[in-house]
């Protein structure tokens, strides 16, 4: 793709642009393929300003609608990026679909994304084709012994790695991806989270290695002590500590010193974030669904007794199939769900079982089945209430937000997760 873009208009990579050029983050990927000991991703938290949180999650199509509305009110936006709340390449299909739709609709915008780098390398060619000019990779350690203290687990496909094995795998993938990005002419920023007592005396080693790879800029970020994480009691680095670390790192790589630790739904100038102002717009766009209807006359329902939507998809041994009838709705049949324990294969088989369904009404759903169903044009709708209420919303293309009995997360409630999804 041949697009002439002024890459200097990215405020995160060019401090001179921060007062005139803005950015908007499109929160499209809630799942993550690693677990950092400082991270607690609250998707629906509206009172915190830190990476990993957003008030809503969008589909690729919703992202374009949201971006249209943002640009109407914030014409200074020059960059559209994906920075969470999970990792961009934990769901590459959704990430690349979003970037492709935005590139087609807004060819003048710079595109960027942030990632941990675990699953980045296979998609560098795609990013180059879409002219994603700026990529940020979070590299917290170049010594696996230190990395093993930072990461609880790393998930590569269906396999979960822990300890030293996890840190070694992540680092090898990061180095390979960064080298590929630079070989393809991408502008690369490295985020390094400074964790006192863990990697604060290791940052200069990170900077030296990144300089060898030809990275363009490094952002040494203070760790945010977040409740509910293993590092919640680790103190935040002081201003003096960060200044000393940046001074040392600057010997090897230019330093970004104007970071505002943006949310996954940040919008506006770096010094004048307007995410609160656009929160209502983001929520409204997240409720706008384009439901695939051709060849899909039915809706599947996870229910215990046939009256209420009250069952988690992972726990449902069968689903009821409903369809329209004489101005109302009728039960068609029950269909068995594939056997549990087969991981993603269960959900791929379920998508075939529900091939004629436009949506599935459930009490809860994990990220893996959600992703598989959405990719097969079956809309998962989490809700609490009567089946008929859900059917009215689906067939009437109504507002489904009011159907939700809770916001965010797995229906099993409050789990930190083990990286494998439900089921």
278 with 344, same domain: the answer is no
18 with 135, same domain: the answer is yes
pLDDT tens sequence across 103-120: 999 999 999 999 999 999
Q: How confident is the model at residue 45 (pLDDT cuts 50, 70, 90)?
A: very low
217 with 354, same domain: the answer is no
Q: How confident is the model at residue 42 (pLDDT cuts 50, 70, 90)?
A: low
Q: What is the CATH number of the domain that holds 65?
A: 3.20.20.70
Backbone angles phi, psi at 33, to 5 degrees: -105, 5
pLDDT at 47: 42
Domain-located, residue 422 = no
Domain-located, residue 256 = yes
Domain-located, residue 421 = no
| Whether pLDDT at 48 is above 50 | no
346 with 397, same domain: the answer is yes
| Whether pLDDT at 316 is above 70 | yes
Average pLDDT, the chain: 86
| Whether pLDDT at 407 is above 60 | no
Give the residue-averaged pLDDT of 256-265.
76
pLDDT at 418: 38
Question: What phi-psi label fits residue 154: left (phi over 0), alpha (psi between -120 and 50 degrees) or beta?
Answer: beta
226 with 263, same domain: the answer is yes
160 with 45, same domain: the answer is yes
Instruction: Give the chain's domain count.
Output: 2
pLDDT tens sequence across 1-38: 445 677 787 877 777 777 778 888 999 988 889 999 98
Q: How confident is the model at residue 413 (pLDDT cuts 50, 70, 90)?
A: very low
37 with 101, same domain: the answer is yes
- pTM for the whole thing? 0.74
Using H for helix, E for strand and C for coil, what is the string for the chain?
A: CCCCCCHHHCCCCCHHHCCCCEEEECCCECCCCEEECCCCCCCCCCCCCCCCCCCCCCCHHHHHHHHHHHHHHCCCEEEEEECCECCHHHCHHHHHHHHHHHHHHCCCCEEEEEECCCCCHHHHHHHHHCCEEEEEEECCCCCHHHHHHHEEEEEECCEEECHHHHHHHHHHHHHHHHHHHHHCCCEEEEEEEECCCCCCCCHHHHHHHHHHHCCCEEEEEECCCCCCCCCCCCCCCCHHHHHHHHHHHCCCCCECCCCCCCCCCCEEECCEECCCCCHHHHHHHHCCCCCCCCCCCEEEECCCCCCEECCEHHHCCEEEEEEEECCEEEEEEEEECCCCCCCHHHHHHHHHHCCCEEEEEECECCHHHHHHHHHCCCEEEECCEEHHHHHHHHHCCCCCHHHCCCCCCCCCCCCCCCCCCCC
Domain closes at, from 265, 286, 307: 286
Q: What is the CATH number of the domain that holds 345?
A: 3.30.420.130
| Whether pLDDT at 46 is above 50 | no
CA 304 – CA 25 distance, rounded (Å): 39
pLDDT at 342: 85
Give the residue-averaged pLDDT of 295-314.
95
Domain-located, residue 227 = yes
pLDDT tens sequence across 137-170: 999 999 999 999 999 999 998 899 999 999 999 9
235 with 271, same domain: the answer is yes
pLDDT at 228: 82
183 with 329, same domain: the answer is no
pLDDT at 291: 76
pLDDT tens sequence across 362-398: 999 887 888 789 888 898 998 889 999 999 989 885 5
| Whether pLDDT at 125 is above 80 | yes
Domain-located, residue 411 = no
Q: How confident is the model at residue 41 (pLDDT cuts 50, 70, 90)?
A: low
316 with 279, same domain: the answer is no
Q: Among the ranges 70-79, 89-98, 164-173, 338-347, which has the highest mean pLDDT value? A: 164-173
pLDDT at 371: 79
The range of the structural domain enclosing residue 258 comes to 7-286
310 with 179, same domain: the answer is no
Q: How confident is the model at residue 275 (pLDDT cuts 50, 70, 90)?
A: confident
pLDDT at 4: 65
Domain-located, residue 26 = yes
């Amino acid at each position: 793709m041949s697009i002439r873009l002024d890459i200097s208009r990215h405020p995160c990579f060019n401090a001179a642009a921060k007062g005139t050029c803005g950015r908007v983050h499109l929160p499209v990927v809630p799942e993550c393929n690693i677990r950092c000991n400082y991270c607690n991703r609250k998707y629906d938290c509206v009172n915190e300003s830190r990476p990993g949180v957003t008030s809503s999650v969008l589909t690729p199509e919703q992202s374009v609608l949201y971006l249209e509305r943002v640009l109407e009110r914030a014409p200074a936006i020059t960059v559209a990026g994906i920075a969470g709340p999970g990792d961009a390449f934990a769901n590459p299909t959704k990430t690349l679909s979003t970037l492709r739709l935005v590139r087609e609709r807004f060819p003048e915008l710079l595109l960027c994304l942030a990632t941990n780098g675990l699953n980045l390398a296979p998609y560098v060619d795609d990013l180059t084709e879409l002219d994603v000019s700026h990529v940020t990779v979070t590299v917290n350690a170049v010594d696996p012994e230190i990395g093993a203290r930072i990461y609880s687990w790393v998930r590569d496909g269906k396999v979960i790695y822990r300890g030293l094995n996890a840190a070694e795998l992540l680092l090898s993938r990061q180095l390979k991806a960064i080298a590929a990005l630079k070989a393809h002419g991408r502008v690369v920023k490295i985020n390094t989270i400074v964790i006192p007592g863990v990697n604060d005396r290791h940052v200069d080693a990170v900077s030296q290695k990144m300089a060898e790879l030809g990275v363009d800029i490094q952002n040494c970020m203070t760790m945010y002590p977040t409740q509910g994480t293993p590092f919640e009691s680790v103190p935040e680095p002081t201003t003096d500590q960060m200044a000393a670390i940046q001074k040392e790192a600057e010997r090897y790589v230019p330093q970004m010193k104007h970071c505002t630790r943006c949310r996954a739904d940040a919008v506006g100038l770096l010094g004048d974030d307007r995410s609160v102002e656009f929160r209502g717009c983001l929520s409204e766009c997240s409720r706008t669904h384009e439901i695939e209807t051709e060849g899909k006359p039915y809706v599947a329902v996870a229910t215990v007794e046939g009256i209420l939507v009250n069952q988690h998809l992972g726990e449902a041994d069968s689903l009821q199939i409903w369809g329209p009838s004489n101005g109302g709705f009728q039960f068609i049949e029950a269909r068995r769900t594939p056997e549990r324990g087969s991981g993603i294969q269960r959900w791929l088989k379920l998508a075939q079982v529900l091939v004629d369904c436009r949506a599935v009404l459930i009490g809860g759903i994990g990220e893996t089945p959600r992703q598989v169903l959405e990719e097969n044009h079956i809309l998962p709708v989490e809700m609490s209430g009567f089946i008929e209420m859900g059917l009215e919303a689906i067939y009437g293309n109504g507002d489904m937000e009011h159907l939700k009995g809770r916001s965010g997360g797995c229906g099993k409630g409050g789990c930190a997760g083990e990286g494998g999804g439900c089921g």
